[in-house]
Structure 1
Amino acid sequence: MKSPDWDHFRFFLALVDAATLTGAARALGVEHTTVARRIDTLESALNVRLFDRFPKGWALTSDGESMVPHARQLEADMHALMRATTGSVALQGVVRVSAPPAITTYLLAPHLQKALRHLPEIEIELLAQSRLVDLTRREADIALRFQRPSSPGLAIRTVAAINYGLYAHRRYLKNRSPDAWEFLGYNDGLLDTPQQKWLDDIKGDRRYRLRSNDLSVLFEAANAGEGVAVLPDYFERRTSGLVRIASPACPVKRKLWIVLHEDVRRTARVRAVADAIIALFALVENEPKQS
């Protein structure tokens, strides 16, 4: 038996996870023929058939199924090795930061580079993502999340408490009584967020004028005078025609967590960026709001 290239196991696991060649190819950013060729090479090196090829897809053989936990362990060991070796790299290189889209757009993008002026050799990759990234697989180095992760091996800390309130453009509210308000809210995919649940409770018989899965869309629609939206208070720091509606007052306050893998936290550049983000939120918290 030849010694297989370790990278072939990455293609093996991608096909296991995606269940189709096209899905695995999409996840890896390659052509489906490349995935098939890598699997053929791995099978040849191991002298074992890992997948049965059917017209409608590939299915793991019993030998392939027994290979999966070993491949998972190999993947975990390789990621741990990569995290450990990056710890000795100086304050330079790429740091990937994953955060909810609105946090990325309205807080990190305008302020983070200023907070990193003392680290000119670090390049930031901002990932505007609502989904929970897998830090163990190095999908990101740092994650900001409203949900506190429960996975082991993570370093977690609160960086901010985000308050919410009702907002509308001043011209929308002018000569319009509260019983005539129309609302701007999340669509079906985000109905469980606490601010949306509160908005549903206070809306009563009044209607939604617009729904979206993107907070930036709701902000822009409210600023265009399309209706009333529940928004985080950091939007008050932006120049706009929005005014906060005093009553009813929104009681929602959400904790924002910064999350790092314990191994990555020891990497100098990642630790430096994490410290800058923590300092940034402390600064933004004390920044004067737009009048």
Structure 2
Amino acid sequence: MEWGDVRYFLALARAGSLSAASRRLGVEHTTVARRVDALEAALGMRLFDRLPRGWVLTPEGEGLVADAARLEEEALAFARRAAGASGVAGEVRVSAPPVLASHFLAPRLGPFLAAHPGIVLTLAGEKRAALLGQREADLALRLSRPAEHGVVARRVATLTFALYAAPAYLDGRRPEEWCFLGDDESLGELPQQRWLLAVAGARPLVLRTNDLATLVHAARAGIGVAALPCFIGDADPGLRHVAADRDGAASREIWIAIHEDLRRSPRLRLAMDAIGEIFTRDRWLLEGMAGR
């Protein structure tokens, strides 16, 4: 039996379909099917019924899910402990919200990478929280305190929001005539969205989007008033500061997190300290004190 096939079995058991399992594993759906077929052949039993609505576990397959999960956790723990004992050179995978990855962190990584040429940094801008226990990332920046088991974190800054609009939109237009631009409902009840709606009151929300860049461009084009991170809005000459979040209702804490098994890795410790220092050094931008 190929032990790696167990990982495909477990992913398919959790996802319920080849397409969902293949997306999670980052492979073609035919690869998932082939590896599960190989595992069934090696075990001499059928683990899934192939039905039109998806792959459904057989009773035999259901009985092996818990064992497969234990195998996965042991393998991941082995990998984390090995990574924790590694040297300085190598890859560091960092997951971060897109706004922090592209607009804040990436432009400030040059000195760190120049000082440590043996480190290759993979910076992934992700709206979802990467699972550190599953080795989806080595380090993660989060906009709330992580609650994942085995993860340790420290707060490095606060991300503040304010209202911004194009000067041409504001000139000659009374506040009661303003329209607003907000986050798409698919992002859920974000603090900045709740604050925006509270400020807007009965005034219309004319555009929703799940992309911050779209929100910035729409505000700059004079479509309406948007709640934006201060470090973006304050630096944009095409936007004017309209109102501050005086009570901190829209603020988001920024945390940097690592799995406890990886804390002893010199490479990851070095990267974590450097990224933390970047946020600490320029937190005044994140917290909306630029130009105030």
Taking structure 2 as the reference length, what is the TM-score of the superposition? 0.90
- For residues 153-168 of structure 1, the aligned pairs below 5 Å read 153-168=150-165
Q: Find the partner of 1:45 among 33, 42, 47.
A: 42
| Alpha-carbon distance in structure 1 between the residues aligned to 2:195 and 2:284 | 27
Q: Is the 8 A contact 1:165 1:250 kept in 2?
A: no
1:136 alignment partner, SS class: helix
- Note if 1:112 corresponds to 2:140: no
- For residues 20-169 of structure 1, the aligned pairs below 5 Å read 20-169=17-166
RMSD: 2.1
Query: Which residue type is aligned with residue 82 of structure 1?
Result: A
| Alpha-carbon shift at residue 150 of structure 1 (Å) | 1.7
| Alpha-carbon distance in structure 2 between the residues aligned to 1:202 and 1:36 | 52
| Alpha-carbon distance in structure 1 between the residues aligned to 2:103 and 2:169 | 23
- For residues 248-267 of structure 1, the aligned pairs below 5 Å read 249=246, 251-252=248-249, 253-267=251-265
Query: Which residue type is aligned with residue 93 of structure 1?
Result: G
Given the superposition, is the C-alpha separation of residues 32 and 229 from structure 1 closer, same or farther in structure 2, using an over 3 Å criterion?
closer
Query: Which residue type is aligned with residue 234 of structure 1?
Result: F
Query: Which residue type is aligned with residue 81 of structure 2?
Result: A
Aligned residues: 288
Structure 1 residue runs of 5 or longer lacking an equivalent are none
| Alpha-carbon shift at residue 248 of structure 1 (Å) | 7.5
| Alpha-carbon shift at residue 157 of structure 1 (Å) | 0.8
| Alpha-carbon distance in structure 2 between the residues aligned to 1:176 and 1:168 | 12
Could you tell me which residue of structure 2 aligns to residue 203 of structure 1? 200
Taking structure 1 as the reference length, what is the TM-score of the superposition? 0.91
| Alpha-carbon distance in structure 2 between the residues aligned to 1:108 and 1:79 | 28
Query: Which residue type is aligned with residue 242 of structure 1?
Result: L
Structure 2 residue runs of 5 or longer lacking an equivalent are none
2:155 alignment partner, SS class: strand
Q: Larger deviation: 60-69 or 190-199?
A: 190-199
2:160 alignment partner, SS class: strand
Given the superposition, is the C-alpha separation of residues 177 and 60 from structure 1 closer, same or farther in structure 2, using an over 3 Å criterion?
same
Given the superposition, is the C-alpha separation of residues 248 and 83 from structure 1 closer, same or farther in structure 2, using an over 3 Å criterion?
closer
Could you tell me which residue of structure 1 aligns to residue 212 of structure 2? 215
Query: Which residue type is aligned with residue 198 of structure 1?
Result: W
